Amino acid sequence: MKDLFTSKFKLSLFLLSAVYAVGFITILLSHTDSLMRLTPYNLLFATALLIYNAENPDRNYTIWFLISALAGFFLEAIGTATGLIFGTYHYGNGLGIKALEVPLMIGINWPVLVFATSAILLPLGWHWILRAVAGSLMMVAYDVLLEPVAMRFDFWDWDGGVVPLQNYLAWFVIALLMQLGVNRFVKPLANKIALYIIIIQAAFFALLIYTENLRVF
């Protein structure tokens, strides 16, 4: 137990496991709607764990995190207003406080996914451009699982209730630009908790898709 509180990674993994264990049990007990009202806080929790476990974050890390968050937020704002980037969609109330009709958490979620996927791929030793491409594909796969959950729980909704291919193409292009910047200019990307955050969240989405009988495509 003492070791748990002296290791950032072990403490973070314990907290992450405990929080999501409660979530999994709540879903299996059919109290999903009540649970999903806590989604904005859960996203903040995951963000805090990722930043807490970043190894030796420097000025570039902070700058690129903020740039990615602001770019993601304003691209979403333009997207919802025009339908030209991702397709025609609008945000509901499931993700908390909004500005310009976009939840603030959406802006934060972009760098969280970029930095998490980059950290996961870093130990493979691939060229930074290859890591950027692979990280972008991972983010698109993440979005594929997220989309049906998002529509079911009032995160956002698409015109006609169908996710357009344009959305996934836009996700890849935007993710690739962010990944290229981060992999090129940010060196301290190592993060032990990143893999566990992505795996547990993906499992969480998969369970929701199964229990709610949602369609992925």
- 166 pLDDT higher than 60: yes
pLDDT band, residue 192 (cuts 50/70/90):
very high
| Residue linked to tokens 């566990």 | 196
Quick one: CA torsion of 102, 44, 68, 58, rounded to 10 degrees? 160
Per-residue pLDDT tens for 43-66? 999 999 999 999 989 999 999 999
Alpha-carbon distance 74 to 60, whole Å? 21
- 202 pLDDT higher than 70: yes
Alpha-carbon distance 97 to 106, whole Å? 10
**Percent of the chain topping pLDDT 90:** 93
**How large is the average pLDDT for residues 69-81?**
96
Per-residue pLDDT tens for 119-133? 999 999 999 999 999
Q: 3-class secondary structure for 115-184?
A: HHHHHHHHHHCCCHHHHHHHHHHHHHHHHHHHHHHHHHCCCEEEHHHCCCHHHHHHHHHHHHHHHHHHHH
- 2 pLDDT higher than 60: no
Beta carbons of 126 and 185 less than 8 angstroms apart: no
